[in-house]
Amino acid sequence: MNLEILGIMVLWTFLFGYVIVASIDFGAGFFNAYSLFNGKQHILTNIIQRYLSPVWEVTNVFLVFFFVGIVGFFPKTAFYYGTILLVPVSIAILLLAIRGSYYAFETYGARGHKGYSFMYGLSGLFLPASLSIVLTISEGGFVSIVDGKPVLDYWELFTSPLTWSIVVLSIVAVLYISAVFLTWYAHKAHDQDATELMRNYALIWSMPLIITASGIIVEIRAHNPEHFGNLLNLWWMFALSFLLFLGTVWLIWKRKHYGRAFGLLAGQFALAFFAYGFSHYPYLLYPHLTIYDGFTNKTMAISLVVAFIAGLGLLIPSLYLLLRLFLFNKDYVTGQHIHTNKRRYS
Amino acid sequence: MINEDALFYSRVLTELTLSFHIIYATIGVGVPLMIMIAQWVGIKKNDEHYILLARRWTRGFVITVAVGVVTGTAIGLQLSLLWPNFMELAGNVIALPLFMETFAFFFEAIFLGIYLYTWDRFENQRKHLLLLIPVAIGASFSAVFITMVNSFMNAPQGFDIVNGELVNINPILAMFNPAMPTKVAHVVASAYMTSAFVLAAIAAFRLIKGSDHIYHKKALYLTMKLGLIFSIATAVIGDFSGKYLAEYQPEKLAAAEWHFETEADAPLILYGTLENGEVKYAIEIPKALSILAHGIPSAEVIGLEEFPEDEIPPLYIHYLFDIMVTIGVWMMFLSFLYWLGTKRSWAFIHTKWFRWLIVLGGPLSIIAIEMGWWLAEVGRQPWVLRGIMRTAEAATSSDQVDLMLILFAGLYVILAIGSVVILSRMFRRNPVERELEDREADKGGVIQ
């Protein structure tokens, strides 16, 4: 395997990590706000807050890691994507800022403030939309080179059905992933009501997910035939992904093995995500930038890989510790230690 | 082709974001160390007050971290959005420390989460201390790595340019450039100093406002002592920075000092104004600039006349330099007086007006940080990479930068108001007296 492939694999894996943890985060914010408005807050808020509190900052770092990494491994992306993405990414930063700060503000300052929760929930839906624009742009057709500088055609972008299909898919995926995860988490917390509610949401969002996902493939066929051809070559990965999806839905329908259901979901998205990534090879921005002409020099690539391995050596045990203490800790999940903390915060 | 508007607004937006970010970032680097020290003192002295101090600081720290994280994410992305040409070039050489910074950040985020949510899970205070060590290390090291990137922009090395192509790239050499040691040390030491004085200001403020609790007195003494140590360190490193500048970036030093002609026995100019190229109302300290620059009173210091007109930084940086140094020296003096006064039991240390001076010291230290960064950044104009790439060549060609500037300015206003309101409300609603009572009650509950 050459360094270009290794670099993009590393980054794609981290992006996948971000997609999963951020989806849980964004969706949870939405469900929390939604429950506040239809009076089911007492059922969900505790579960959601308890999970999100210790990890919101870590979620954000996954994203930082990705965008620092891609400029490191592929400096030319800074030139192409940096120039054209000013507006969409600035909006995403704004939404992230609302989430990050209001999360802390609400948790420590003004618990249960409806306005904050509403902003928080809403930003969770707009964020996947503003970030998924990048995926649309990478398909090509929206960027032209004028005077040696890339220029984004907004009109073309916003009138393209592909754009809106990807936006809808990203929102639906966020809600689905989050619902499945929170079903599992609520179940672990022995919170029957929350489990039932989240189970309903998970089942509700499963159908739109699979419909929009299939729709995208049709859109790409019209938009970028070359990419579509590559997608077809990987049909078996998508088929496998679909089987895993059926497994998740079946387990949730039958109300059993929620943990395993989430595992299947992770597998489903991993397969689809990587199949999409492979089919995009070798382009970072079709047809202007490939991973080969965008790649950094060899010395830098090697030192980045070394730093990455050393960093992972530090990170994996720490993440494991975090998960052990919060996600897989019975006392914490069931809220044995919450009551004393809460009083001190308020 | 340079888009003048985009260049101007990119500079303003970057300055705005960074100026806002460094307030929270400086606190983010310094406060974890203070928390760790308080926790350690608490364990060593077996004194509940210090442990509580660590906890209350942490609670406020979370809010500043949240704002620091989001503004940090903003500047991280803005680097590529506003300066795509710069990042494309620099990414080839300086990506390594940028990358390592995210690891330090990751590390800190994980352990901060653990520390925050395990307060009531471990009885043993030593375990809490162990959790704080990675938080403090992660915080300081993200400052170290990111400052390495900045020092590279001042003293780029670790590559050659042959026919416009980058060759012989050496990322390690780029990281350990000549500007690195003084810059990193100055940033870290001044962050510790500022954090200590900000925390001291809070303690002094509580004492003024009538809470005469021993807790606040302990907090004040601890932070003033730490502030004294770190302000001395900052000043010493500042002197080294002067020597670095004389050697490697003489135009920055000369502009900051209004030193026009190359000469020996160069005087240091304090304050004053510049009118039609004439320095007026300034205090001149003979030979001091030669000492600052080379450590020898008779040494020759390069003046601005040696540089082409279009490579000279704006001369207003002299004022920034003066303000920074004046505040630094003043804070060193103030904390020394406090420390000595406490040792000798001087009564005026406990008067209201003296405590007001300490309260003022918090914002003053932050102003000094801002001045220092503006001096460092404006002082390397017109270059974004000194000697290699001009700022004008680095900026984006996008037409929407002005709109984004308005958007972000609004965001920072909201974040500033939000964080101040939440922080003050958090502590006003739960004063230390009540928290101490609560803890007593909890303890009683455990024993029964």
Residue appearing with tokens 């690891």: B103
The H or E element that residue B256 is part of is: helix B250-257
pLDDT number for residue B447 = 37
- Model confidence band, residue A240 (pLDDT cutoffs 50, 70, 90): very high
Chain A residues in contact with B420 by the CB 8 A cut-off are none
pLDDT number for residue A330 = 67
State whether residue B411 sits within 8 Å of chain A by CB: yes
pLDDT at B15 over 90: yes
Q: Under a CB-based contact definition with an 8 Å cutoff, are residues B120 and A329 in contact? A: no
Q: Under a CB-based contact definition with an 8 Å cutoff, are residues A101 and B113 in contact? A: no
Question: Which pairing describes strands A283-285 and A289-290: parallel, antiparallel, or unpaired?
Answer: antiparallel
Closest-CA residue of B relative to A101 is B66
State whether residue A222 sits within 8 Å of chain B by CB: no
Q: What is the CA radius of gyration of chain A?
A: 21
pLDDT at A339 over 80: no
The H or E element that residue A149 is part of is: strand A149-152
pLDDT at B128 over 90: no
A 240-299 residues with CB < 8 A to B: 296-297, 299
Interchain pair B81, A72: CB under 8 A: no
Of A270, A268, A276, A285, the closest CA to residue A233 belongs to A276
Chain B residues in contact with A314 by the CB 8 A cut-off are 103, 107
Q: Under a CB-based contact definition with an 8 Å cutoff, are residues B147 and B184 in contact? A: yes
b/e code A130-165 from CB counts within 10 Å (16+ = b): bbbbbbbbbbbbbbeeeeebbbbeeeebeebebbbb
pLDDT at A234 over 70: yes
- The angle formed by the CA atoms of residues A137, A30 and A165, to the nearest 5 degrees, is 30
Residue appearing with tokens 């059926």: A246
State whether residue B169 sits within 8 Å of chain A by CB: yes
pLDDT at B414 over 50: yes
Of A151, A147, A301, A82, the closest CA to residue B394 belongs to A82
Segment A190-219, tens digit of pLDDT: 778 778 888 888 888 888 888 888 888 888
pLDDT number for residue B158 = 85
Closest-CA residue of A relative to B403 is A87
**Model confidence, pTM:** 0.88
Q: Under a CB-based contact definition with an 8 Å cutoff, are residues B426 and B60 in contact? A: yes
pLDDT number for residue A110 = 58
- Among partner residues A67, A109, A321, which is closest to B114 by beta-carbon distance? A321
- Identify residue B334 by its one-letter amino acid code: L
pLDDT number for residue A345 = 38
> In a mutagenesis test of the B interface, which of A93, A154, A336, A339 is the best target, namely the one with the most B β-carbons within 10 Å?
A93
pLDDT at B101 over 70: yes
Q: Under a CB-based contact definition with an 8 Å cutoff, are residues B298 and B342 in contact? A: no
- Model confidence band, residue A25 (pLDDT cutoffs 50, 70, 90): confident
pLDDT at B7 over 80: yes
DSSP string, B383-407: EEETTTEEHHHHS---S-HHHHHHH
Is A215 buried (19+), middle (13-18) or exposed (0-12) by CB count in 10 A? middle
pLDDT at A337 over 60: no
Q: Under a CB-based contact definition with an 8 Å cutoff, are residues B8 and B398 in contact? A: no
Mean pLDDT of chain A: 81
Mean pLDDT of B211-227: 87
pLDDT number for residue B260 = 85
pLDDT at A108 over 70: no
Mean pLDDT of B146-167: 86
Segment A58-80, tens digit of pLDDT: 788 888 888 888 888 888 888 88
Tokens of B170: 């050496």
b/e code A201-213 from CB counts within 10 Å (16+ = b): bbbebbebbbebb
Segment B291-346, tens digit of pLDDT: 887 888 888 888 888 888 888 889 899 999 999 999 999 999 999 999 998 888 88
B 109-138 residues with CB < 8 A to A: 109-114, 116-121, 134
Residue appearing with tokens 């729709």: A215
Segment B49-98, tens digit of pLDDT: 898 888 889 888 888 888 888 899 899 899 888 888 888 888 888 888 98
DSSP string, B274-317: EETTEEES-EEETTHHHHHHHS-TT--B--GGGS-GGGPPPTTH
Segment B366-380, tens digit of pLDDT: 999 999 999 999 988
List of residues 6+ apart from A66 with CB closer than 8 A? A11, A14, A15, A18
Interchain pair B107, A315: CB under 8 A: yes
Report helix angle B125-154 to B48-82, nearest 10.
Answer: 30
Q: What percentage of chain A reaches a pLDDT higher than 70? A: 90
Of B258, B199, B192, B266, the closest CA to residue B229 belongs to B192
Q: How many Cβ pairs closer than 8 A exist between chain A and B?
A: 234
Mean pLDDT of B210-217: 79
Alpha helices, H only, A109-234: 114-138, 154-159, 161-188, 192-223, 225-233
State whether residue A336 sits within 8 Å of chain B by CB: no
